[in-house]
């Protein structure tokens, strides 16, 4: 799937890969420890592999200015659109998969984790595995998942909070999900709202004056851990709320000037639900372009010396790699270790860039 989208700006570029061996000559595969029944129901036989990809990017919540945030979300919309034109659907747009890539003359939105992407089919039906991350799932997907759980007849369904995947819930009754590009656009909308509510400054500065579960987002996540129907109803009600002040008390003071953009995006979804027509990429991208044109210049904050040093070291490592070295295992291993150190050192800063992951992909 990665090959189909490799020429799109904002998609990771695969540099090298290799299989993981549990012992010399023995590759780590799921069929080594998964019974045949489980293999056939889950419709997959997986091989443990390691990938080395470029570039080094910042989490979306590490935006430097509000204009950069808006611009990078607009970029991700375009990435999704270009992927769709190549017949590829991402299916897992979440807060942890949206990034910012830096260039000498600016930055660009970046979309990670294409492992569950699929080639678009005429029916639009795909296996349940890899269907998004709970707080960012569309109303349509949540509705289908709730119905699938009900039809499964399972009464002892584990809390989603404690489950890395819902696939095993349907292990005796494999399920498909109808998923379209509109569901991915809706997921990106929830990411935008998530950031507006939980953050009150650049460089990953989280709000200290609110409790996550007491905000609108609590209904999309903590309450969803009890019942997906709660999240579905909360999102459906939110999308159909005609009030322009629906976000005023939820969004931080820092982001108050982005509420009009959120409201206009919200209106497009509301109209779509009422008319039962699909929101189009062109409509959302045009909305973002108009809003960006009206946004004033905002001086970016000074990055800490520690952060600047880490980025400089990583750039120096990348620039020192000659083309002939790209397939050299030692060089790639060094790059991977550098990336790990980068994550560890950035996480140790005063403002951690990545919020705690409350849910994993389904």
Indicate the angle between helix axes 181-198 and 259-275, nearest 10 degrees.
150
- Residues 333, 286 within the same domain: no
In terms of C-beta density within 10 A (0-12 exposed, 13-18 middle, 19 or more buried), how is residue 168 classed? middle
Instruction: Please check whether residue 33 lies inside any domain of the structure.
Output: no
- Residues 175, 284 within the same domain: yes
Query: HSE (CB half, 13 Å, CA atoms) of 117?
Result: 23
The token pair at 347 is 């996480």
Q: Which residues contact 172 (CB under 8 A, 6 or more apart)?
A: 41, 152
Query: Between vectors from CA 355 to CA 354 and to CA 361, what angle results, nearest 5°?
Result: 95
Instruction: Please check whether residue 50 lies inside any domain of the structure.
Output: no
CB atoms within 10 A of CB 32: 10
CATH code where residue 69 lies: 1.10.510.10
- Of 251, 269, 294, the position where a domain reaches its end is 294
* Domain range for 331: 305-347
pTM here is 0.78
Buried b (16+ CB within 10 A) or exposed e, 69-103: bbbbbbbbbbbbbbbbeeebbbbbbbbbbbbbbbe
What pLDDT does residue 34 have?
60
Instruction: Please check whether residue 80 lies inside any domain of the structure.
Output: yes
Instruction: Please check whether residue 352 lies inside any domain of the structure.
Output: no
Local structure of 97: helix, strand or coil: coil
Number of domains in the chain: 2
Instruction: Please check whether residue 101 lies inside any domain of the structure.
Output: yes
Local structure of 258: helix, strand or coil: helix
The token pair at 161 is 């909070």
- Of 294, 316, 335, the position where a domain reaches its end is 294
What pLDDT does residue 38 have?
45
- Residues 183, 267 within the same domain: yes
In terms of C-beta density within 10 A (0-12 exposed, 13-18 middle, 19 or more buried), how is residue 276 classed? exposed
What pLDDT does residue 69 have?
97
Q: Which residue has the tokens 């570039």?
A: 55
- Residues 280, 318 within the same domain: no
What pLDDT does residue 341 have?
44
- Residues 204, 96 within the same domain: yes
- Residues 273, 147 within the same domain: yes
What pLDDT does residue 79 have?
95
- For the chain, 362 residues long, give each residue's pLDDT as a single digit of tens: 777 787 788 888 877 888 888 888 888 887 776 655 444 444 556 788 887 777 778 899 999 999 999 999 999 999 999 999 999 999 989 999 999 999 888 899 999 988 888 999 988 888 877 677 888 999 999 988 888 877 776 655 555 544 444 555 554 566 788 999 999 999 999 999 999 999 999 999 999 888 888 888 988 987 876 788 888 999 999 988 888 888 988 999 999 999 999 999 999 988 887 778 888 999 999 999 999 999 998 888 876 554 555 555 555 555 554 444 444 444 444 444 444 444 443 333 333 333 444 444 44
- Residues 267, 317 within the same domain: no
Terminal CA-to-CA distance of the chain, rounded, Å?
A: 19
- Residues 91, 111 within the same domain: yes
């Amino acid at each position: 799937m990665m090959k189909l989208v490799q020429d799109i700006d904002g998609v990771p570029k695969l540099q090298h890969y290799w299989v993981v061996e549990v012992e010399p000559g023995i590759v780590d595969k799921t069929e080594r420890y998964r019974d045949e029944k489980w293999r056939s129901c889950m419709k997959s036989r997986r091989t443990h592999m390691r990938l080395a990809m470029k570039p080094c990017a910042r989490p979306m919540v590490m935006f430097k200015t509000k204009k950069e945030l808006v611009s990078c979300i607009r970029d991700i919309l375009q990435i999704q659109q270009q992927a769709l034109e190549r017949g590829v659907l991402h299916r897992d747009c979440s807060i942890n998969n949206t990034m910012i890539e830096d260039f000498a003359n600016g930055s660009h939105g970046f979309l990670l984790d294409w492992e569950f992407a699929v080639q678009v089919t005429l029916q639009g039906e795909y296996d349940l595995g890899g269907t998004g991350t709970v707080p960012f799932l569309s109303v349509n997907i949540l509705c289908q998942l709730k119905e699938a759980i009900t039809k499964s007849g399972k009464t002892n369904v584990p809390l989603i909070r404690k489950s890395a995947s819902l696939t095993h819930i349907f292990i005796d009754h494999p399920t498909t999900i109808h998923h379209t590009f509109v569901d991915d656009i809706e997921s990106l909308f929830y990411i935008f709202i998530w950031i507006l509510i939980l953050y009150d400054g650049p460089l990953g500065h989280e709000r200290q004056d609110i409790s996550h579960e007491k905000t609108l987002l609590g209904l999309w996540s903590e309450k969803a851990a009890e019942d997906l129907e709660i999240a579905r109803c909360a999102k459906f009600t939110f999308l159909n709320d005609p009030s322009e002040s629906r976000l005023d008390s939820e969004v931080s003071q820092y982001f108050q000037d982005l509420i009009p953009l959120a409201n206009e995006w919200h209106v497009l979804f509301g109209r779509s639900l009422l008319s039962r027509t699909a929101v189009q990429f062109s409509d959302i991208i045009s909305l973002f372009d108009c809003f960006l044109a009206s946004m004033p210049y905002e001086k970016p904050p000074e990055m800490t010396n520690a952060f600047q040093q880490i980025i400089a070291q990583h750039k120096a490592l990348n620039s020192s790699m000659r083309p002939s070295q790209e397939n050299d295992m030692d060089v790639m291993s060094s790059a991977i270790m550098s990336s790990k150190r980068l994550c560890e050192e950035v996480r140790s800063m005063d403002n951690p860039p990545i919020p705690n992951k409350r849910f994993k992909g389904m």
